[in-house]
Amino acid sequence: MSLPHGEWNPVKNIHYFTLHFTGFSVGASEQQNLLRLASHDRAFYTDKRFFRDPERFSRLKTGGPLHIGAHRMQDGSYWIHWLSDGATLIEQGHTREPLTNKFLLLLAGSLVCAAAVWPMFTYQNVWLAIVCTLIALAGLMAAGIGLAMLLHRGALALHPGMRDLLNKLELARQGNYAFCQQPGTAPGAARQRLIPFLRDAVLPDRYRVVEGQVKNPHFSAWSRGSGRFQRDYHGVSFQCDGTPLSLHWQIIDFVQQLHPIFRRRHPPFIASDDHVVAVWRRSDHEVQALYNASDGGLYLKNHVLHPGDRQMALMYKLLYGFSLFLPLIVLGMELYETLTSGSLALLDSWKSAAMVLDLFALSLLCVGSILVFLELAFLATRVLSSGVDDWFTLRGVIHRFTGQAGASVIIRELA
């Protein structure tokens, strides 16, 4: 039984299939490691970098059954963790990277956080508490990243979905594939019917639409900036119906290094001979939106002056989380002072509660003001910039397209 796209259950999203293997499509990626398998109008992805013996992929026999263990991602596609044709079994490996940098990041972040929290317990000043809280949050984030990296290996062993995959893998070693099922037909059967809606859409003059097969895809990777301001990018240049195009997106190195079991989205996939509809900008031939009818992938580039829905949602969560974190810190300070002084007077308790509530209201007011300012600034960019306004028109077309497609197509925003 399929889960709705918004729900996420680590065990229920683990699936085992027996497919008719006709070969992999190789996506334009670093060292051509990204693979896609299409069967029953479903898309299965994997990356050879995560497997112990990637050379074994060439030993898989086409034309026969292929048994796979995979987890379901947000857009309804699947990520393969192990696979076997009955004679060749290919499984993912677990890297053993040095832990020194991870320990140092955890230690440095913890020290910064502790050093920033100490003045708040010593000096009773609201503005000092706000500044120290910001510093403490930065240190806490660094320590959290270091701790997350350290716990990454342990999380693999404790992850219920991973345990289930490993248990079924042992059965596959013994030649037992009775737990594998035939996949039913996915909603993606209507992919070709959806193409005319996007191809014939009315768009601003700065955009053009092209439909055809991908030819000569070429992958590239580069960086911009340096130090803390360095940004890493991946991109694919290709031709479609004789038109040279390019699509690029920003990546986060930490996310790239995570084990695939934690992934909820696959990397953008473009392979030779894929049937696509691309919306590109006339000035530089950069793709702003792309629908891949071969696997149902839909990608929308965010405008440089306006974040996408996903980035805005993350911004709201972080800011409102901060508005809750600051009063909790102050409440901890007050409780510490009360306990150390030995005074448990009811009046003092009410005064402390009133101060925390006032600070919470002030935090909400500050966060709300920041969000209102940001929303007004984004609205102003739309009014003052024809490029942003045209991008909103394009985004509206893409959202109407997904409305026509239903649950079979999910927008993937690219920065």
What's the pLDDT tens digit per position in 78-130? Answer: 999 999 998 899 998 754 455 566 677 778 888 887 777 777 666 666 677 77
pLDDT tens profile 337-362: 666 665 555 446 666 677 777 778 88
Tell which CATH classification among 2.40.50, 1.10.10, 2.30.30, 2.60.120 matches the domain 14-95+158-173.
2.40.50
Domain positions in the chain: 14-95+158-173, 100-154, 195-303+409-414, 309-384
Which residue in 311, 272, 322, 316 sits closest to 414, CA to CA?
311
What pLDDT score does 191 carry?
60
| CA distances for 363 relative to 108, 130, 312, 360, angstroms | 28, 10, 19, 5
pLDDT tens profile 133-191: 778 878 878 887 777 766 666 666 677 888 888 889 999 999 999 999 887 655 544 56
pLDDT tens profile 238-266: 999 999 999 999 987 666 667 788 888 88
What pLDDT score does 2 carry?
38
In this prediction, residue 75 has a pLDDT band, given cuts at 50, 70 and 90, of confident
Axis-axis angle for helices 126-158, 160-173 (nearest 10): 20
Average pLDDT, the chain: 81
What pLDDT score does 330 carry?
72
Which residue in 183, 159, 179, 160 sits closest to 170, CA to CA?
179
Amino acid at 147: L
14-95+158-173 and 195-303+409-414 share one fold: yes
Concatenating the DSSP letter of every residue in 228-276 gives: GG-EEEEEEEEEETTEEEEEEEEE-HHHHHS-GGG-SSPPP--BTT-EE
What does the alpha-carbon distance between residue 374 and residue 49 come to, in Å, rounded to a whole number?
40
Q: What is the CATH number of domain 195-303+409-414?
A: 2.40.50
What does the alpha-carbon distance between residue 137 and residue 117 come to, in Å, rounded to a whole number?
10
What pLDDT score does 95 carry?
45
Close Cβ partners of 337 (under 8 Å, ≥ 6 residues apart): 121
What does the alpha-carbon distance between residue 164 and residue 388 come to, in Å, rounded to a whole number?
47
